A and B are shown apart, each in its own frame.
Chain A
Amino acid sequence: MKKAAQRMYFGKALAALASRSDIVVLDADLGGSTRTSDFEKVAKERFIQIGIAEQNMIGVAAGLAASGKTVFASTFAVFASGRCWEQIRQAVAYPKLNVKIVATHCGISVGGDGASHQALEDIAIMRALPNMTVISPADANEAYAATMAIADHKGPCYMRMGRADFPLITPEDTKFEIGKATVLKEGNDVTLIGTGQMVTLCLEAAETLSEKGISAEVINISTIKPIDTDGIIRSVLRTGCAVTAEEHSIIGGLGSAVSECLSDNIPIPLERVGTKDTFGESGDPNELMKKYGLTTENIIKASERVISRKGNR
């Protein structure tokens, strides 16, 4: 399957958006990696280099947005969410300003840089903010479409993307509707709910499960907040159990968001695949995914476990 990095397509989308005079892009000295440099090439006058000063970047973004600009502020996910969380809360989320915080290098697949650069908590802390929309596209095509969608959306957004090349599982002309989950494969025995590159692993798991005679439905949750409650309920009403999969801590992330949705509406057995209250470390991305349990095998095991729990209520 063809692969591509989400950040490369984010850069392409920004360059395409440069024709819109309200778009301003801010960088904290990582534009080559986050690909905001693609925007700088075509709209230098609306690209602002902030330097290594993420807290200031958010305040500057708020001032620009209060002047009518649609602002993209980008850096690595650890810094974009953590270093300036309270600035985002005060300056962006509270006054509902039109700032898009687009974070690359999320999750453990960052690899060699190690735990200091592997954001495994960003979904948790960003979705806790009132007024904040949280986006986590499954592949590069969706990252492109999501960039276009958040540029049209009025209000604060946080979008997380990976560093590495991920398989392209959605079509090139994929549409992106904020708040809408997509069913990628239908099934009846278990609902696999993934976000980011873990959606790909959910699809792989569903194939293996099917060989074992288990029919798994696969849902891509690319908007974590507001979560598509109706879409999730529709699926689990049929399957009666679910597994979540995320490249993020199981504390506060997709697994938690789905747990909240299920316990509020239709309590059914749920298993969560994600990192287990731990920091990452340096290593090859594939080895790290395996060591920290972010594998197709774990999704399969979780599916078998959760199906066996269905009758025990």
Chain B
Amino acid sequence: MNALDVDDIGRMADRIRIHVIEMTSEAGSGHPGGSLSSAELFAALYFHVLKHDPKDPEWSGRDRFVLSKGHVAPGLYAALAEAGYFPKEELLTLRKLGSRLQGHPVKGKLPGIEMSTGSLGQGLSMSCGLALAAKMDKKDARIYCLLGDGELQSGQNWEAMMLASHYELNNLTIFVDRNHLQIMGNTENTLSIDPLAAKLKAFGFDTVTIDGHNVKKIIKACKKASSSRHPTAIILNTIKGKGVSFMENNAEFHGRSCKPDEKEKALSELRSRL
């Protein structure tokens, strides 16, 4: 996979956003807000950070990405299609009967999906298993996992973090999409997760907080993580609904798609960014 330069990755993020709006609008449901907040991460991972081969998705030496916040599958699917894992035309089958693009990612159904996720709080445990296996097999593959901020309210994450630091899984990098919004509103009003960085540090993670929409910073943080002696946590300060004025910081778009007029407005805003 040829890596793109930073500007092109930024543009790729917006192409992913356009797909997300088209896909979720066509489906009439889905989770566009979080998909938009993670667009730069998806673009940076699949077009720079990950060692992977879309023509050989099961290549044994590949890095692995686990989407623990499985509801933002549209963003991941868009990145996979852009990277060449499957035809882009298939994106519009999202959530439809018989589609490989299930509402939440399913391992074995679609090339590039490493684990079945969507029930929140489980992806980090799975990632620990992948990281342990890579160590056992003496592979230099790295494991990446994206978690939602609201998702961290689930206790299993903290069980997994204890394990990651106990076994010094320095081949594991986790991202927290810190957009501060979950279905019922602000994370800090729902069930506060701050002080997040201090908690992650206390659980043994090398922790860094960056602008999650800055591709250069994402790439730099991932590079630094790869030489750490500890697992790394990268807190991505992001804006839910990023890139579309009326969706930004709007919890309503956590779990609903655009209506026809909203869709056109969103697409025109996003196209103007390209």
* Interface contacts beyond A24-B133, A59-B123: sample of 4 additional A-B pairs, CB < 8 Å, sorted by A: A55-B125, A59-B126, A60-B160, A67-B134
Please determine whether B125 and A56 come into contact, CB atoms closer than 8 angstroms: yes
The CA-CA distance from A255 to B108 in the complex, in Å, is 35
With A46-B136, A48-B132, A94-B116: A63-B126 Cβ-Cβ less than 8 Å: yes
What are the residues of chain A within 8 A of B128 when measuring CB–CB? Answer: 56, 59-60, 63
Contact with A along B190-227 (1 / 0, CB 8 A): 00000000000000000000000000000000000000
Residue in chain B with minimal CB distance to A89:
B119
Contact with A along B151-191 (1 / 0, CB 8 A): 00001100110110011000000000000000000000000
What are the residues of chain A within 8 A of B133 when measuring CB–CB? Answer: 24, 63-64, 66-69
The CA-CA distance from A67 to B127 in the complex, in Å, is 11
The CA-CA distance from A66 to B113 in the complex, in Å, is 11
B129 interface hit (Cβ, 8 Å): yes
Please determine whether B107 and A95 come into contact, CB atoms closer than 8 angstroms: yes
The CA-CA distance from A89 to B131 in the complex, in Å, is 22
B106 interface hit (Cβ, 8 Å): yes
The CA-CA distance from A126 to B57 in the complex, in Å, is 32
Contact with B along A56-94 (1 / 0, CB 8 A): 111111111111110000000000000000110111001
The CA-CA distance from A63 to B166 in the complex, in Å, is 17
- Can you list 25 pairs linking A and B with CB atoms under 8 Å apart? A24-B136, A50-B163, A51-B159, A51-B162, A53-B162, A55-B121, A56-B125, A56-B163, A59-B123, A59-B125, A59-B126, A59-B128, A59-B160, A60-B125, A60-B128, A63-B128, A66-B115, A66-B130, A68-B133, A69-B136, A87-B122, A90-B116, A90-B117, A90-B119, A95-B108
A105 interface hit (Cβ, 8 Å): no
Please determine whether B163 and A53 come into contact, CB atoms closer than 8 angstroms: yes
Residue in chain B with minimal CB distance to A65:
B129
What are the residues of chain B within 8 A of A64 when measuring CB–CB? Answer: 129-130, 132-133
Most buried by B among A58, A62, A64, A90: A90
B261 interface hit (Cβ, 8 Å): no
Give min CB distance, B107 to chain A, whole Å. 4
The CA-CA distance from A86 to B118 in the complex, in Å, is 12
Give the number of residue pairs across the A-B interface with Cβ within 8 Å: 103
Within 8 A of B (CB), among A76-119: 86-87, 89-91, 94-96
Please determine whether B163 and A90 come into contact, CB atoms closer than 8 angstroms: no
The CA-CA distance from A86 to B125 in the complex, in Å, is 14
A152 interface hit (Cβ, 8 Å): no
A211 interface hit (Cβ, 8 Å): no
With A87-B156, A91-B116, A95-B116: A62-B163 Cβ-Cβ less than 8 Å: no
What's the dominant secondary structure at chain B's contact region?
Answer: helix
Residue in chain B with minimal CB distance to A93:
B116
A264 interface hit (Cβ, 8 Å): no
Give min CB distance, B158 to chain A, whole Å. 9
Interface size, chain B (Cβ < 8 Å): 33
Give min CB distance, A46 to chain B, whole Å. 7
The CA-CA distance from A51 to B124 in the complex, in Å, is 16
With A51-B163, A56-B159, A59-B129: A66-B107 Cβ-Cβ less than 8 Å: yes
Give min CB distance, A273 to chain B, whole Å. 37
Please determine whether B131 and A63 come into contact, CB atoms closer than 8 angstroms: yes
The CA-CA distance from A65 to B166 in the complex, in Å, is 21
The CA-CA distance from A90 to B155 in the complex, in Å, is 16
Give min CB distance, A57 to chain B, whole Å. 8
B89 interface hit (Cβ, 8 Å): no
Most buried by A among B159, B160, B166: B159
Please determine whether B119 and A86 come into contact, CB atoms closer than 8 angstroms: yes
Give min CB distance, A95 to chain B, whole Å. 4
Please determine whether A96 and B108 come into contact, CB atoms closer than 8 angstroms: yes
What are the residues of chain A within 8 A of B160 when measuring CB–CB? Answer: 56, 59-60
With A63-B129, A63-B132, A67-B130: A90-B118 Cβ-Cβ less than 8 Å: yes
A173 interface hit (Cβ, 8 Å): no
What are the residues of chain A within 8 A of B7 when measuring CB–CB? Answer: none
Please determine whether B130 and A63 come into contact, CB atoms closer than 8 angstroms: yes
What are the residues of chain A within 8 A of B134 when measuring CB–CB? Answer: 67
Please determine whether A91 and B130 come into contact, CB atoms closer than 8 angstroms: no
Give min CB distance, B119 to chain A, whole Å. 4
A-B pairs with lowest CB-CB distance, top 6: A63-B129, A59-B125, A67-B133, A56-B159, A53-B159, A60-B129
